[in-house]
Structure 1
Amino acid sequence: MKKRILIISIFSLVFLACSNSKIDGTWVLCYTDSQSKVAIFNEVFTFKNGHFESESFSGPAFYEKSSGLFELKKNQLILNDSINLSIGLISADSLMIVDETTSYTFKKLNDSLKKTETDKIIISGKKFEVDLDGHHFSNVSYLNGKISFDSQPFEESHEYYKRINHNGFDIIFQEFAAPKVIKKIYNDTILLYGFHEKIYEIKMWEE
């Protein structure tokens, strides 16, 4: 009987580990709802070996870090044995969390987007020209925790941002835009990738 219990226990642990590994990696919230609206808050999760870490941002009044244990059971993601999230979809690169009114789509970050420690990319206090997937903007400033826009279609506007290093990814969260990952700098041009319905390339260089 003891041997049978031990076998069952080992099988359960192996099954749980295999289930949890489906979600291992770093996932960033890209959009909400079927209309692909930009999320009103930013969030990134890293899942690994039954543990999770998360960071959330929705403007200067809210920034939060949390961590703990997670378990994946069928269509339920359970955090710290107390928070149950319903999974609408999980694939190699997409994770959809759903509640009664909204769906939240996360995209998995490829490890190739991690920035090496030797790359020192400074954006705070600087003004840039930006090429966003073929669309050009000028007078984009990063100052005092705000991104300021002084060119069409963003004339004289600003929004708050927060730059974080999460699991080796250099991430920029913005109040009203999809998240961006800083990849590298070459020939004085900063290369970033944005995440919404698709991954798009962004280039910035100082004016």
Structure 2
Amino acid sequence: MTAPNAPFNPPAENGADPIVTESPASLGPDPTLLIVDDDKAFVQRLARAMEKRGFITTVAESVEEAHTRVEAAAPAFAVVDMRLGDGNGLDVIEHLRERRADARTVVLTGYGNIATAVTAVKLGAIDYLAKPADADEIYAALTRDPQIKAAPPENPMSADRVRWEHIQRVYELCDRNVSETARRLNMHRRTLQRILAKRAPR
């Protein structure tokens, strides 16, 4: 049996010698990480980057596949995309929390919606990062001391951008039905149409 803090040797590419990576103390005795995202290229890049930082990674590209991975061996860490082709990443977070209460999960999303972030945290997520988030940001979020507050972002979204993101999310949830979106947002239909026709504010 391998010792908990023994070096992890990720599989080599193209027959090259494996890269020996020491598992940092910040990962604890179990450096297993599940990455859930339906962007195959992104998943592969992030998995390689996290292996170089000491994680033992497993990937899933759907909610269904993620559930299977969690049932087989609930990881100590997880990075979960909010929007997946067959469902919502929140379901994966909830399932992982049920199987392993001490798992540390970071949610990735292109939708900066506060209400969804609150839901993710209630279900067990420790942080919420807007895409595109790089490997360093994700690593920092996964390993941050829970007693230490995250530093404020250097370039946070403007209030106009947050509002635009929220409107876009509700619009998508309403199957891009303008009338239904306007009703739910308590907004005049023409006002909503003007907002949807504009580019996203910075």
Pair in the same fold by TM > 0.5: no
* TM-score normalized with structure 1 length: 0.24
TM score, norm. by length of structure 2: 0.24
Decide which structure has greater strand share: 1
Structure having greater relative contact order (Cα 8 Å, sep ≥ 6):
1
